[in-house]
């Protein structure tokens, strides 16, 4: 059996999304900016896709949703444009990010630091959560931007974006949130909170890879991401990725529809998996369930190296993860576990299972069985874990 439980890294394209994209390769391949019928034939579908994308985050028509190539691009754009628009001219000198942002934010923040920008990193607490009040003590009159993700990719922890937005508003500071792991898992409505910029990426919600977006509140338009033609209102030039945009439009519509009907089932399966794995002794999950996205578990099995666990699971046909896919070739401990301050041996044992609306109960039952076998096997050969199977312990 093959079981894919790495949906926070990427997802399968929904067959309905693929079907919607299909005509845009061999038939409707015109450049929408040209002046002939091949171009015009794409317009209705592009318009529909953009309407679906706006509706997906409840963005008012007056605001912009600029299609990019991925969330990494959107995140880089926001931070670097802040540098050009507010910092290089001396108006501001400081930004705030959380210490557990995706590498596309952390690495960009570090780059800006190397250019002289002051950066504060908001900590997470022992449950892997951000406390909004911690922001108050770091904001200064020179703070240009706060960037805190909506939901964390490792733990699924949902961060207090509503309160953070309020604090930013009080201080006149721009607020960006990376909502990559939130769309399709929890309700994301840009009008329900104070937010200036919001990032998302189609391949995390059963859309195609290579297409993402940046929501921009009216009046907060940053320096263009790519200079060139008039594409995307001049904010991001480059011939439009028509199949990608159509795919993202269909994918976000399906993802939003799934929130009420399919996500509760995903959560039930996630909880079943979690309950069963927590029956194994010396096993830990840091963030409480109700404070997480419904599809994610980051779990530590004491004495079991995360990579060894992935190896055993992979041999059984199960895909999971030990950290962000961007870092998964390094044998590093899980960055969120490190930020929480977990003991070193626990930080190395974290394994992430992330489900999707395509995950079945049969797959979860199989995963429970194979994970239990793997823990047993790996603890029995672990030099750091004195493992005794339960039966043996009850015998004496």
Task: Give catalytic residue positions.
Answer: 326
Under the binding rule (CB under 6 A), the answer on residue 212 touching ligand PLP is yes
Residues with Cβ within 8 Å of 30's Cβ and at least 6 positions away in sequence, in order, are: 36, 37, 38, 39, 40, 41, 42
Which residue, 182 or 256, has its beta carbon nearer to ligand PLP? Answer: 182
Asked if residue 156 lies in contact with residue 368, where contact means CB atoms within 8 angstroms, the answer is no
351 neighbors 299 (Cβ within 8 angstroms): yes
Q: Pick out residues in 58-77 that bind ligand PLP (CB under 6 A).
A: 70-72
Cβ neighbours of residue 272 under 8 Å, at least 6 residues apart? 361, 364, 368
Among 85, 178, 196, 253, binds ligand PLP (CB under 6 A): 178
Q: Quote the least distance from Cβ 85 to ligand PLP, whole Å.
A: 22
Number of residues that bind ligand PLP (CB under 6 A): 14
Stretch that binds ligand PLP, among 176-184, 236-244, 331-339, 381-389 (CB under 6 A): 176-184
Cα–Cα dist 18/246, whole Å: 10
For residue 17, what are the β-bridge partners? none
Q: Does 104 bind ligand PLP (CB under 6 A)?
A: yes
Shortest reach from residue 140's CB to ligand PLP, in Å: 26
Query: Distance between CA atoms of 275 and 218, rounded to whole angstroms?
Result: 45
User: Going residue by residue from 276 to 315, which x/- string records binding to ligand PLP, judged by CB under 6 A?
Assistant: ----------------------------------------
Nearer Cβ to ligand PLP (55/325)? 325
Phi, psi of 117 (to 5 degrees): -75, 140
CB of residue 248 vs ligand PLP: minimum separation in angstroms?
11
Residue 182 CB coordination number (10 Å)? 25
201 binds ligand PLP (CB under 6 A): yes
The DSSP 8-state label assigned to residue 184 in this structure reads T
Mark residues 317-336: x for contact with ligand PLP by CB under 6 A, - for none: -------xx-----------
How is residue 346 written in tokens? Answer: 């626990």
Which residues between 120 and 139 bind ligand PLP (CB under 6 A)? none
H/E stretch holding 301 reads strand 296-301
Phi, psi of 241, rounded to the nearest 5 degrees: -85, 80
Closer residue to ligand PLP (CB): 70 or 195: 70
Q: Which residues make up the interface to ligand PLP (CB under 6 A)? A: 70-72, 102, 104, 149, 153, 178, 180-181, 201, 212, 324-325
């Amino acid at each position: 059996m093959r079981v894919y439980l790495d949906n926070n890294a990427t997802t399968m394209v929904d067959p309905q999304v693929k079907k919607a994209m299909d005509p845009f390769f061999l038939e409707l391949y015109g450049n929408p900016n040209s002046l002939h019928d091949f171009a015009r034939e794409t317009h209705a579908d592009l318009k529909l896709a953009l309407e679906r994308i706006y509706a997906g985050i409840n963005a008012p028509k007056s605001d912009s949703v600029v299609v990019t190539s991925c969330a990494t691009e959107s995140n880089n754009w926001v931070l670097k444009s802040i540098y050009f628009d507010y910092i290089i001219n001396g108006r501001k000198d400081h930004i705030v990010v959380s210490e557990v942002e995706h590498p596309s934010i952390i690495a960009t923040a570090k780059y800006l630091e190397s250019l002289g920008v002051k950066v504060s990193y908001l900590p997470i607490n022992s449950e892997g959560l951000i406390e909004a009040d911690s922001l108050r003590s770091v904001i200064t009159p020179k703070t240009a931007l706060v960037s805190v993700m909506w939901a964390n990719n490792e733990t699924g922890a949902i961060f207090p974006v509503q309160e953070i937005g309020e604090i930013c508003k009080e201080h006149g500071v721009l607020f960006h949130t990376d909502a990559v792991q939130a769309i399709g898992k929890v309700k994301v409505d840009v009008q329900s909170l104070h937010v200036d910029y919001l990032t998302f990426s189609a391949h995390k919600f059963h859309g195609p890879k290579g297409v993402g977006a940046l929501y921009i509140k009216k009046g907060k338009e940053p320096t263009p991401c790519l200079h060139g033609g008039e594409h995307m209102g001049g904010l991001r030039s480059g011939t439009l990725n028509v199949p990608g945009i159509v795919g993202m439009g269909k994918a976000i519509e399906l993802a939003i529809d799934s929130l009420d009907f399919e996500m509760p089932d995903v959560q039930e399966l996630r909880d079943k998996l979690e309950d069963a794995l927590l029956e194994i002794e010396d096993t830990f999950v840091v963030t409480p369930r109700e404070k997480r996205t419904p599809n994610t578990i980051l779990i530590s099995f004491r004495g079991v190296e995360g990579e060894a666990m992935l190896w055993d699971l992979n041999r059984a046909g199960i895909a999971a993860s030990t950290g962000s896919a961007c870092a998964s070739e390094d044998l590093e401990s899980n960055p969120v576990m490190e930020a929480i301050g977990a003991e070193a041996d626990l930080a190395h044992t974290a394994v992430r299972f992330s489900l999707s609306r395509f995950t079945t109960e049969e797959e979860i039952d199989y995963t429970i069985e194979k994970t239990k076998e793997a823990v047993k096997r790996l603890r029995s050969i672990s030099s750091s874990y004195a493992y005794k199977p339960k039966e043996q312990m009850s015998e004496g």
